[in-house]
């Protein structure tokens, strides 16, 4: 595995004395597909919100591309090379698919039209550039969000529940897209579809009650008695995740 692109040391977050995340040590390697999963009460949303700068940690340190970014806000982290499907790539319902992606691509400058065409084509929306985003199905709006992220050529692409709302045939296309993207960017995948996780992830981090329960390869996670116990004991994911 190549070098570390993002790491956290002792990252913690409390709300009015209630501990949401505690002492999370996490490493993300360049060009890997890393899945973040967890059962009910796992705290994934809080953790990812700290990664993208929406929440400031109560304690701990985060580095990205070798730089301490703990104190940076969301906009600065986008500029540093992070893309997040719900932060940067909010769909503008009244604009066309082309216009949505163009808004994201203009951050980079360069040949915006080429970037837009390429991004839409890669997610399977190449023939729908002029369709109004709000008229797309929920699943296709998720793909449009990914296209908006790709148009910014991020060093790190964080995808939160990207297969939600996709048909089985579209999930197959999504898997192929992620495999292709891994050659050019790093991907953090927050996903409930365990078949997608097990098939795509190089490594998996499991959160439980705000702490790291396990980290390892898909095979190691699959055979972890601690992970099995956590999932069987709670039976699902929570509303905040």
- DSSP assignment of the chain equals ---EEEEEEEEEEEETTEEEEEEEEEEEETT-EEEEE--TT--HHHHHHHHTTSS--SEEEEEETTEE-TT--HHHHHHHTEEETTTT----TTSBHHHHHHHHHTTT-S-HHHHHHHHHHHTT-GGGTTSBGGGS-HHHHHHHHHHHHHTT--SEEEEESTTTT--HHHHHHHHHHHHHHTTTSEEEEE-S-HHHHHHH-SEEEEEETTEEEEEE-HHHHHT-HHHHHHHHHH-S--TT-
In the predicted model, is pLDDT for residue 234 greater than 50?
A: no
pLDDT band of residue 232 (cuts 50, 70, 90) is low
* Same domain (yes/no): 141, 158: no
Among 8-12, 16-20, 197-201, 229-233, the least confident range: 229-233
Average pLDDT over residues 207-230: 93
* Same domain (yes/no): 214, 111: no
How much is the pLDDT for 35?
A: 97
In the predicted model, is pLDDT for residue 30 greater than 80?
A: yes
How much is the pLDDT for 241?
A: 52
In a domain? residue 228 = yes
* Same domain (yes/no): 76, 158: yes
End-to-end CA distance of the chain: 29
Neighbours of 184 (CB within 10 A): 12
Tens-place pLDDT, residues 67-84:
999 999 999 998 999 999
Q: Of the residues 153, 169, 184, which one is the last residue of a structural domain?
A: 153
Beta-ladder partners of 28: 6
* Same domain (yes/no): 120, 145: yes
Domain ranges, residue 118: 90-153
* Same domain (yes/no): 108, 169: no
What is the sign, positive or negative, of the torsion defined by CA atoms of 224, 1, 37, 61? positive
Tens-place pLDDT, residues 32-46:
999 999 976 789 999
Q: Which two tokens stand for residue 82?
A: 């992070």
Residue carrying the six token digits 């009910």: 40
Tens-place pLDDT, residues 40-64:
678 999 999 999 999 999 999 999 9
In a domain? residue 240 = no
Contacts of 234 (CB under 8 A, 6+ apart): 39, 40, 41
239 vs 198, which has greater pLDDT?
198
Cα–Cα distance, 202 to 217 (Å, whole number) = 6
* Same domain (yes/no): 149, 39: no
Give the CATH number of the domain where residue 212 resides. Answer: 3.40.50.300
* Same domain (yes/no): 178, 223: yes
Contact in structure between 129 and 96 (CB atoms under 8 Å): yes
* Same domain (yes/no): 165, 144: no
Contact in structure between 205 and 221 (CB atoms under 8 Å): no
Q: Of the residues 103, 125, 153, which one is the last residue of a structural domain?
A: 153
How much is the pLDDT for 87?
A: 44
In the predicted model, is pLDDT for residue 238 greater than 50?
A: no
Cα–Cα distance, 199 to 73 (Å, whole number) = 33
* Same domain (yes/no): 95, 208: no
In the predicted model, is pLDDT for residue 239 greater than 50?
A: no
pLDDT band of residue 12 (cuts 50, 70, 90) is very high
Average pLDDT over residues 166-176: 90
Tens-place pLDDT, residues 118-164:
999 999 999 999 999 999 988 899 899 999 999 989 999 999 988 88
How much is the pLDDT for 39?
A: 77
Q: Of the residues 101, 119, 153, which one is the last residue of a structural domain?
A: 153
Structural domains counted in the chain:
2
Contact in structure between 208 and 39 (CB atoms under 8 Å): yes
* Same domain (yes/no): 192, 175: yes
């Amino acid at each position: 595995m190549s070098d570390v692109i993002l790491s956290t040391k002792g990252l913690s977050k409390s709300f009015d004395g209630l501990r949401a995340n505690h002492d999370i040590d996490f490493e993300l390697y360049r060009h890997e597909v890393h899945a973040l999963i967890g059962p009910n009460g796992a705290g994934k949303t809080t953790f990812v919100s700290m990664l993208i700068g929406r929440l400031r940690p109560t304690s701990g340190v985060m580095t990205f591309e070798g730089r301490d970014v703990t104190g940076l806000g969301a906009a600065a982290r986008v500029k540093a090379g992070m893309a997040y499907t719900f932060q940067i790539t909010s769909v503008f319902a009244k604009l066309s698919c082309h216009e949505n992606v163009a808004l994201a691509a203009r951050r980079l400058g360069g040949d915006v039209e080429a970037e837009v065409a390429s991004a839409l084509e890669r997610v399977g929306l190449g023939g729908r550039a002029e369709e109004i985003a709000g008229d797309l199905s929920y699943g296709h709006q998720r793909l449009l969000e990914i296209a908006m992220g790709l148009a910014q050529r991020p060093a790190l692409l964080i995808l939160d529940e990207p297969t939600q709302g996709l048909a089985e045939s579209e999930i197959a296309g999504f898997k192929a897209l992620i495999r292709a993207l891994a050659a050019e960017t790093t991907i953090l995948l927050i996903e409930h579809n365990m078949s997608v996780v097990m098939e795509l992830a190089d490594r998996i981090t499991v959160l439980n009650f705000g702490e790291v329960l396990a980290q390892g390869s898909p095979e190691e996670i699959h055979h972890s008695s601690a992970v099995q116990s956590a999932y069987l004991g709670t039976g699902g994911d929570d509303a905040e995740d």
